[in-house]
Amino acid sequence: MKKPFRERLKDGVIVCDGAMGTLLELYEYDEKPPEIHNIKNPDIVERAHREYIQAGAEIIETNTFSGNRMRLEVYHLADKLKEINESAVEIAKRAAEDNVYVAGAVGPTGRLLEPLGKTKLSEVKEVFKEQIKILVEGGVDLLILETFLDLNELDAAIDAAKEISADFPIIAQKTFSEDGAILSSDFPVEVVKHIKSKGVDVVGSNCTVGPQRMYGIIKSIYSEDVVLSAQPAAGIPTLVDGRSIYHATPEYLATYAKQLVEAGVTIVGACCGSTPSHIKAIAEAVRGVKIERKQIVVKRKTTVEEEVVEKKPPTRSEFSKKLGQKFVTTVELDIPRGLDISGVMDGARFCKENGIDAVNITDGARARIRMNPIAISHLIQREIGIEAITHLTTRDRNMIGLQAELLGAQALGLRNILVVTGDPAKIGDLPQAKSVFDIDSVGLVKIVKSMNDGRDSMGNPIGEPTSFLIACAANPSADNFDYEIEKLERKVESGADVIFTQPIYETEICTRFIKAVEPMRVPIVVGILPLRSHKHAEFLHHEIPGINIPERIRDKMFHAGKNAAQVGIEISADLLREIRTSVAGAYLLPPFMKYEVAVKVLEKAGI
């Protein structure tokens, strides 16, 4: 007969089970998600539980890691949520009988939370409450909240559990990166203290890393007043025919399991890639081993200079310093296909010689194949000496790639980033290419702001913070103006420092936009695209998303005839003259590499 779980925690090391999905695949029951087998093949799930118990597991986890509504929706199984979770508890309790603890397994939703993604934290919390209520009412002995990378999401899961049952035993496991720089900082200890303050019984880590790296994590998160758990993966997998193959042997996992217990871990098990053989080896290795409750010292790398000299504040761009101090001007350069960027360099040189403050470098606009904007921006700044405003889209890179690009941009001396979602790949040079869109522009603004604060998208420290001026885009002529402003508010709340607009042709449109943005207290750099001809005006109005040219202006261009280019300059100059005192600057987009047009507009506007 088992003791109440909290009493059992005081008696020493407890062995937890291993991976469920791995075992089901080995049985050749690989239909996804693994939770579907709670309904379709309950006998196989029960067999897996019994094999882990026979191997020495004193805690088994219900087959419900992906059993929340948001995860199940991916497989069109949301309507089976109650049946899947109830069946999972029944199966586990049947296998556990009266001797083994049944832990209700709860994993993350798989969604990016606002502002990185579109899912609200409140929605996630309700999803967790729904699943946890079923698990608790089904009769589990405790909850294991596991594989949470986002600390905010783990908080939501803990809060949900507390609302369902204020005094229910909880193991909360955060997934950490194996990054040595993170582990040698105070960040892991701060995270553990935060989780402990939420009132959970056990704090730990699982998945992502193998046993050796897990040992490093445990050393980094150790605290005398915290009961710790550790469930490492069986190493890093190799993908073979779509299946993850793990290589860590049971003996290897067992060696580190013993070291983990000696380092202060009370609950030890394994995660992805592990089988009953691994758990058997772990159980034998930790039998009789005493949990060491002494402080582990993690050496921090310091130098005399670090102790004496204060860190210099991040270097801001000259462009950011000018904002609000003068009327700033930027010109978008035309990026050609291929390697020849001599025209771009000539354009940048022309802009510098004519007093333009910065040049805009687009990121594969219209989904065309063009050179990387970070590379071009760096070359321009190095060789021409004019600052670049580097556009970065979420279309072509996942969240890993985006953050890698930002770190590279910082290292190369780029300090102005204009965040855009980007046009879908299907409209460009390679319509068969896949658009990434892990996040939208709001999410990317948040990431850049986080890196400016010295942390990555998941809150992990990156060491020295970046120092980007964060620019975002807006369309004052949007069909759904209210939605445009609402999204812009989210960009500003996420950290945008300045707004660059789509080209505008009407004073009334600009005035309405300025009034709507005024409460946000963010400078506006207005887009100015001088028209070349009536044909040009018609093309922009009818074929380019986000550009709206009033009929009267298109008519004016039509009647201008051979003087259309000059009339286009006058239209832009007149608009700029009328609004210049209400905006922070002008973002000029001269057509067809006619950079002298930008200068003429500014001259005629008296700038």
DSSP string, 64-129: -TT-SHHHHHHTT-GGGHHHHHHHHHHHHHHHHTTTSEEEEEE---S-PBTTTSSB-HHHHHHHHH
**Predicted confidence band of residue 172 (pLDDT cuts 50, 70, 90):** very high
Report whether pLDDT(181) > 60.
no
Span 493-500, average pLDDT: 97
Report whether pLDDT(283) > 60.
yes
* Neighbour tally for 236: CB within 10 Å: 16
Q: What is the distance between the alpha carbons of residues 440 and 545, in angstroms, rounded to a whole number?
A: 17
Report whether pLDDT(309) > 50.
no
Q: Give the architecture (CATH level 2) of 5-286.
A: Alpha-Beta Barrel (3.20)
**Predicted confidence band of residue 243 (pLDDT cuts 50, 70, 90):** low
Report whether pLDDT(311) > 70.
no
Three-point CA angle 562, 568, 574, nearest 5°: 140
Report whether pLDDT(486) > 50.
yes
Report whether pLDDT(306) > 50.
no
Take residue 426 and report the two structure tokens written for it: 């299907």
- Residue 303: the pLDDT is 37
Report whether pLDDT(307) > 70.
no
Span 214-227, average pLDDT: 86
The dihedral over CA atoms of 561, 563, 567, 570, expressed in degrees to the nearest 10, equals: -170
Residues 6+ apart with CB under 8 A from 181: 461, 463
| Amino acid at position 188, single letter | P
Is 414 in contact with 374 (CB distance < 8 Å)?
yes
**Predicted confidence band of residue 184 (pLDDT cuts 50, 70, 90):** low
Span 172-189, average pLDDT: 73
Residues 6+ apart with CB under 8 A from 436: 394, 395, 396, 397, 398, 401
Span 460-465, average pLDDT: 90
Residue 228: closest CA among 176, 179, 272, 181: 176
Mean pLDDT of the chain: 92
Q: Determine what percent of the chain is predicted with pLDDT higher than 70.
A: 93
The shares of helix, strand and coil residues in the chain, as percent rounded to the nearest 5, are 45, 15, 40
Dihedral sign for Cα atoms in the order 17, 22, 25, 30: positive
**Predicted confidence band of residue 185 (pLDDT cuts 50, 70, 90):** low
Report whether pLDDT(176) > 70.
yes
Report whether pLDDT(585) > 60.
yes
- Cis omega (within 30 of 0) on the bond before 530? no
CA 522 to chain centre: 24
- Residue 208: the pLDDT is 80
The DSSP letter of residue 588 is E
Report whether pLDDT(277) > 90.
yes
Element (H, E) at 558: helix 551-560
**Predicted confidence band of residue 298 (pLDDT cuts 50, 70, 90):** very low
The H-assigned helical ranges of 263-361 are 276-286, 304-308, 318-322, 342-353
Take residue 318 and report the two structure tokens written for it: 């000259």
How do residues 510-532 score in pLDDT, each as one tens digit?
999 999 999 999 999 999 999 99
Is 341 in contact with 376 (CB distance < 8 Å)?
yes
Report whether pLDDT(82) > 90.
yes
- Residue 392: the pLDDT is 98
Report whether pLDDT(452) > 50.
yes
Query: 């996420």: which residue's tokens?
Result: 494
Q: What is the distance between the alpha carbons of residues 117 and 243, in angstroms, rounded to a whole number?
A: 29
The DSSP secondary structure of 345-388, one letter per residue, reads HHHHHHHHHTT--EEEE-SSGGG-----HHHHHHHHHHHT--EE
Report whether pLDDT(118) > 90.
no
Domain boundaries, the chain: 5-286, 321-531+580-604
User: Residues, the chain, total?
Assistant: 607
| Amino acid at position 239, single letter | L
Report whether pLDDT(310) > 50.
no
Q: What is the distance between the alpha carbons of residues 586 and 331, in angstroms, rounded to a whole number?
A: 8
Q: What per-residue string of b and e applies to 194-218 under the rule 16 or more CB within 10 Å gives b?
A: ebbebebbbbbbbbbbbbebbbbbb
Report whether pLDDT(112) > 60.
yes
Q: What is the distance between the alpha carbons of residues 473 and 347, in angstroms, rounded to a whole number?
A: 23
The domain defined by 321-531+580-604 folds into TIM Barrel (3.20.20)
**Predicted confidence band of residue 313 (pLDDT cuts 50, 70, 90):** low
Residue 379: closest CA among 399, 401, 359: 359
- Residue 464: the pLDDT is 92
Three-point CA angle 48, 53, 55, nearest 5°: 95
- Residue 240: the pLDDT is 65
Span 114-134, average pLDDT: 94
Span 307-327, average pLDDT: 77
The DSSP secondary structure of 19-81, one letter per residue, reads -SHHHHHHTT---SSGGGHHHH-HHHHHHHHHHHHHHT-SEEE-S-TT-SHHHHHHTT-GGGH
Is 221 in contact with 228 (CB distance < 8 Å)?
yes
Which pTM value belongs to this model? 0.83
**Predicted confidence band of residue 216 (pLDDT cuts 50, 70, 90):** confident
For the ranges 26-40, 304-318, 481-495, which has the lowest average pLDDT? 304-318
Fold match between domain 5-286 and domain 321-531+580-604: yes
Report whether pLDDT(590) > 80.
yes
**Predicted confidence band of residue 340 (pLDDT cuts 50, 70, 90):** very high
Gyration radius (Cα) of the chain, Å:
29
Report whether pLDDT(428) > 90.
no
